[in-house]
């Protein structure tokens, strides 16, 4: 994977920054550092400020695995054009049928995991996230989760960074969410930044020239061609995008002035 921050990649970013492009970001591990206690996740002040500046120049959205109500409050006031929750389910497919299915699953996982210290089952209404970052028996916990999931129907299990996401198999994923937002906002191209397995649904769209997928952290198996070396580098990427857009805007103003000169 090639670092998108390398000077050699400016020629890759520039056509996107100078087009009608959508900027889309995952939240945890991308805009915000991964933390031991998920409810405490938050963007650094520098990232918030840069994202607000970017949102004034580009249409920006966040597509998160968190519940819509949860992630919305974490990005409030930044001028985003959209916030998508539950890996793409909310707001379009937040149905009673999906809710009931997830509620039927929760007690099955609770029963198996209740004696496993350091495990937290996060009920996001339309999906479950089983966190085991604090567990001392991570492999056993993951195996137990996979065993329960294997006995369920119409379920999709998506791994993450010390978390397992359990979602309805027919629910929309992040790739579908990105395409919906791009169409809704009438954008020709998109840049998407994400950090784990749920984001591979976007990277797998494989649309050269129309989609620039950037993974946080190098991973040989990722479908993303480019990466950010670490989550801390998100600020550098946003600064580059701001600078390129501002340059494009100034260039457009200069051309318009010349065209209208007497």
Give catalytic status of residue 154 as yes or no. no
Among candidate residues 26, 28, 70, 199, the one labeled active-site is: 26
- Provide the edge-to-edge strand list for the sheet that holds 60-63: 2-3, 226-228, 211-216, 189-194, 21-25, 60-63, 82-84
d(CA 252, CA 182): 23
Token pair of 105, please? 């699953």
Provide CB contacts within 8 A for 157, sequence distance 6+: 145, 146, 149, 164, 165, 166, 167
Tokens 């299990």, residue located: 157
In this structure, the strands spanning 60-63 and 21-25 are: parallel
Instruction: Provide the annotated active-site residues.
Output: 26
């Amino acid at each position: 994977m090639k670092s998108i921050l390398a000077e050699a990649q400016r020629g890759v970013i520039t056509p996107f920054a100078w087009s009608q492009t959508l900027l889309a970001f995952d939240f945890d591990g991308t805009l915000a550092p991964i933390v031991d206690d998920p409810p405490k996740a938050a963007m650094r002040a520098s990232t918030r400020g840069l994202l607000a500046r970017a949102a004034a120049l580009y249409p920006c959205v966040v597509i998160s695995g968190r519940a819509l109500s949860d992630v919305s409050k974490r990005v409030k006031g930044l001028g985003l054009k959209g916030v998508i929750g539950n890996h793409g389910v909310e707001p379009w497919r937040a149905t009673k049928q999906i809710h009931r299915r997830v509620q039927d699953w929760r007690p099955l996982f609770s029963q198996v995991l209740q004696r496993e210290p350091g495990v937290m089952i996060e009920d996001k209404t339309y999906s479950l996230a089983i966190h085991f970052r604090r567990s001392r028996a991570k492999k056993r916990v993951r195996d137990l989760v996979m065993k329960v999931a294997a006995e369920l129907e119409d379920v999709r299990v998506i791994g993450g960074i010390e978390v397992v996401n359990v979602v309805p198999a027919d629910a929309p994923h992040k790739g579908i969410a990105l395409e919906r937002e791009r169409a809704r906002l009438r954008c020709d191209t998109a840049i998407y930044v994400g950090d784990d397995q749920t984001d591979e649904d976007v990277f797998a769209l494989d649309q050269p020239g129309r989609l620039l997928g950037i993974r946080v952290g190098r991973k040989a198996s990722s479908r993303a061609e480019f990466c950010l070396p670490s989550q801390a580098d998100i600020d550098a990427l946003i600064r580059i995008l701001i600078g390129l857009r501002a340059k494009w805007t100034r260039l457009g103003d200069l051309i318009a002035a010349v065209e209208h000169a007497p």
